[in-house]
């Protein structure tokens, strides 16, 4: 029986990927459809994708499939045909090709069965994620978004919105998609007859969000086909004005792909214009935050002087300090209490 999971050290796999000379293509895809036996489906997919040297993460549930992967360029057509053949519902599904891609996005294949491909907190048996709003292609988005009264809603997390978003888009101020859904419905409750456009990175969250609003009585709900990734690709190919400004955050090693040259965020330490996300290099922290080159050099890739000090301690001392430490979601949020906020105030006072 073939091995259906990785058995090689992650660091070794990462170094192998970085040493590759053959170009890779980063792709995302999803589809809401019923999968009767997710585990069997996952195992068959895993066997075939390993043969094609596909890297990335794929989630499978009874409600469908969600994947972000990279594939060797010379295997791309075979990969596409393999994916299309796994189920009739997958035949011809849209593949979102990365906009700003060096091919170094993933180094191992992980395929997991989950209760849902997008955690949403919805327990209503009458809710159908396949009953979605209307797709908008890039040109259609530009036209509708300019009409008076149209509301554009960003269904991503705060750290994604911070580095790039559509012009005049509303941010739903929550850290999780499951919290955003009822919050969006509440924020828009007096706009049920207005044109509402929802968007996200690749389309999977805003598609479900559009279905949720329709399920809750909203009348004119739209979502951007293929999300920001497909919008940017089509807009550039068709010579359309880009309504999305800045960088599109992505959940792989790149942590972002540039859509326009606009830098709309700032370094979380010093406040200099910057939209480069990084993880604190202190193994006891790994905070995801925005850091400019100067602060990265000053703090050796750490989020604070305290983390830099801890990173440079002997390994045994670092382990002792980390023992029993409980970290919450390690993502910087300007609206919440975090040591980096105090550090930033101190930096501004003493600079």
Q: Are residues 145 and 197 in the same domain?
A: yes
What is the spatial distance between Cα 231 and Cα 243, in angstroms, rounded to a whole number? 9
Quick one: 189 and 146 in the same domain?
A: yes
d(CA 141, CA 136): 5
The model's confidence at residue 42, banded by pLDDT at 50, 70 and 90, is very high
Q: Mean of the pLDDT values across residues 300-328?
A: 87
Sign of CA pseudo-dihedral 180, 186, 191, 193: positive
In a domain, 201, yes or no: yes
Predicted local distance difference test score (pLDDT) of residue 96: 87
Segment 312-324 mean pLDDT? 88
Residues 114-172: pLDDT tens digits? Answer: 999 988 888 888 888 888 999 999 999 999 999 999 999 999 988 899 999 999 999 99
Average pLDDT over residues 311-335: 77
What φ, ψ does residue 94 adopt, rounded to 5°?
-70, 135
Percent of the chain past pLDDT 90, that is, above it, reads 64
List 257's β-bridge partners, or say none: 248
Predicted confidence at residue 120, as pLDDT, reads 87
Q: Is residue 251 one of the residues assigned to a domain?
A: no
Tokens coding 211? 């279905």
Give pLDDT, residue 186.
95
Give the active site residue among 200, 206, 267, 302: 200
Reported as a single tens digit per residue, the pLDDT across 226-276 is 999 899 999 999 999 999 999 999 877 778 889 999 999 999 999 999 999
What six digits make up the tokens of 191?
């706009």
The secondary structure of residue 99, as a DSSP letter, is: S
What pairs with residue 246 in β-bridges?
164
Residue 132 C-alpha from the chain's centroid: 20
pLDDT for 351:
43
Q: What is the average pLDDT value for the chain, to the nearest integer?
A: 87
The better pLDDT of the pair 249, 347 is held by 249
Query: Please, are residues 73 and 25 in contact by the beta-carbon 8 Å criterion?
Result: yes
Together in a domain, 32 and 99: yes
**216 is in which domain, residue-wise?**
134-246
Say if residue 18 is in the same domain as residue 103. yes
Q: Is the per-residue pLDDT at 348 higher than 90? A: no
Answer whether 106's CB lies under 8 Å from 56's CB.
Answer: yes
pLDDT surpassing 50 at residue 5: yes
Q: For residue 221, is pLDDT > 90? A: yes
Confidence tier at 350 by pLDDT (50, 70, 90): very low
Is the predicted pLDDT of residue 6 greater than 70, yes or no? no
Over residues 19-24, mean pLDDT: 73
Q: Are 214 and 171 in the same domain?
A: yes
- 8 pLDDT exceeds 90? no
Residue 26 lies in a domain: yes
Q: Could you give the residue ranges of the DSSP H alpha helices within the chain? A: 10-19, 38-51, 76-85, 138-145, 158-163, 177-187, 204-215, 227-237, 293-298, 305-311, 315-322, 339-350
- Number of domains composing the chain: 3
- 182/217 same-domain check: yes
Residue 191 covered by a domain: yes
Write down the pLDDT at residue 255: 82
Q: What is the pLDDT, as a whole number, of residue 214? A: 96
Is 283 inside any structural domain? Answer: yes
- At 335 the pLDDT is 46
Q: CATH no. for residue 51?
A: 3.30.70.100
Whether residue 151 is found in the same domain as residue 235: yes
Q: Is residue 124 part of a domain?
A: no
Classify residue 266: in a domain, yes or no. Answer: no
Residue 196: inside a domain: yes
Domain boundary among 246, 261, 290: 246
Output Rg (C-alpha) for the chain, integer angstroms.
21
In this prediction, residue 80 carries a pLDDT of 96
pLDDT of residue 101: 65
Across the range 277-298, mean pLDDT stands at 93
More confident residue, 2 or 325: 325
303 included as an active-site residue: no
């Amino acid at each position: 029986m073939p091995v259906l999971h990785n058995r090689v050290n992650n660091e070794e796999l990462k170094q192998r990927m970085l040493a590759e000379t053959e170009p890779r293509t980063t792709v995302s895809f999803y589809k809401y459809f019923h999968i009767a036996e997710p585990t069997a489906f996952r195992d068959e997919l895993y066997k075939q994708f390993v043969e094609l040297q596909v890297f990335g993460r794929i989630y499978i549930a009874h409600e469908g499939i969600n994947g972000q992967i990279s594939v060797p360029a010379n295997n791309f057509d075979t990969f596409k045909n393999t994916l299309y053949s796994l189920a009739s519902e997958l035949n011809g599904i849209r593949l979102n090709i990365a906009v700003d891609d060096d091919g170094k996005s993933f180094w191992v294949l992980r395929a997991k069965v989950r209760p849902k491909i997008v955690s949403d907190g919805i327990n209503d048996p009458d809710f159908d994620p396949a009953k979605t709003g209307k797709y908008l292609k890039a040109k259609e988005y530009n036209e509708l978004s300019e009409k008076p009264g149209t509301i554009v809603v960003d269904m991503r997390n705060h750290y994604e919105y911070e580095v790039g978003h559509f012009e005049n888009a509303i941010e739903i101020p929550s850290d999780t998609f499951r919290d955003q859904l009822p919050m969006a419905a509440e924020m828009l409750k007096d706009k049920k007859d207005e044109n509402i456009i929802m968007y996200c990175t690749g389309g999977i969250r805003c598609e479900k969000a559009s279905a949720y609003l329709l399920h809750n009585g909203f009348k004119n709900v739209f979502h951007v086909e293929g999300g920001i990734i497909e919008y940017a690709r089509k807009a550039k190919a068709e010579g359309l004005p880009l309504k999305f400004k800045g960088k599109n955050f992505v959940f792989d090693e790149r942590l972002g792909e540039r859509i326009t040259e606009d830098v709309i965020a700032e370094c979380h330490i010093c406040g200099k214009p910057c939209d480069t996300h990084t993880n604190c290099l202190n193994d006891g922290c790994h905070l995801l935050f925005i850091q400019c080159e100067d602060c990265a050099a000053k703090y050796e890739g750490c989020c604070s002087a305290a983390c830099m000090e801890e990173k440079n301690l002997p390994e045994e001392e670092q382990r002792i300090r980390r023992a029993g430490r409980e970290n919450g979601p390690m993502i910087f949020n300007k609206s919440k209490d975090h040591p980096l906020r105090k550090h930033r105030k101190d930096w501004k006072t003493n600079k």
